[in-house]
Chains A and B, each alone.
Chain A
């Protein structure tokens, strides 16, 4: 059963992304949005944590990158940049949605 996990806080401020990564199963997806986009930036400890989860799909919300002045080329390889329409599609495609609020 695939789950869409949503994370909205920076991993450098709160532990919700770490909690999420400890629970996420292969074949599930993680969407980072709002301040959680900071977890999707290259060259950080979280780039390695994302790379270590090879069978999990990672997404980051493009609008929230832009709102924070983070250009798309700074996003860790393997994380797909999505819009709200794709956020909705991910929620529909997965069996359920778990918000790590």
Chain B
């Protein structure tokens, strides 16, 4: 079955970023497909490569990147939410005259249309957040 995941909460906030990850992993391990993970609102903070959690803590951002690489996941960060919160890729850096970029491996920045498309093209859209 084709699943899409929406993540509305940032890492290390409550538990939604962890729950979304555990659910996504279980979906893949059950042999289903994840057609897209859409990071919205504070959820865009799951996609910054500037986080440095203590070594004995889980690294939520790297964990997404690794899962994304392993299963070739489409991990999309909402552009409007990202601009507000300082999540920047090469294109956004140039467009907005910033001097750095911080998008984590495996993530890409795109628009809300990607969420609508995920809702239409997937068979289940499962939302995690506050």
Contacts and interface: CB of A to CB of B under 8 A. Distances in A.
Interface of A: 6, 8, 33-35, 63-64, 83-85, 87-89, 91-92, 96-97, 99, 101
A82 to B, nearest CB: 11
13 contacts: A33-B19, A34-B15, A34-B16, A63-B22, A85-B26, A88-B26, A88-B32, A97-B124, A99-B128, A99-B129, A101-B16, A101-B129, A101-B130
User: Across chains A and B, which 9 residue pairs bring their CB atoms closest together, nearest first?
Assistant: A84-B26, A99-B127, A101-B129, A34-B15, A88-B26, A97-B126, A88-B30, A92-B1, A88-B27
Contacts of A8: 15-16, 19, 128
Contacts, number: 51
Contact of A91 (B25, B126, B130): B126
Contacts of A35: 14-15
A84 B25 contact: yes
Interface in B21-51: 22-23, 25-27, 29-30, 32
B98 to A, nearest CB: 31
Q: Secondary structure at chain A's binding surface: helix, strand, loop or mixed?
A: helix
Interface residues of B, number: 22
Interface of B: 1, 3, 8, 14-16, 19, 22-23, 25-27, 29-30, 32, 124-130
B8 A87 contact: no
B51 to A, nearest CB: 21
Contacts of B126: 6, 91, 97, 99
B5 to A, nearest CB: 10
A91 B16 contact: no
B14 A89 contact: no
A91 B122 CA distance: 13
A6 B20 CA distance: 12
Contacts of B128: 8, 99, 101
Select the residue from A87, A88, A89, A99 with max chain B CB neighbours within 10 A: A88
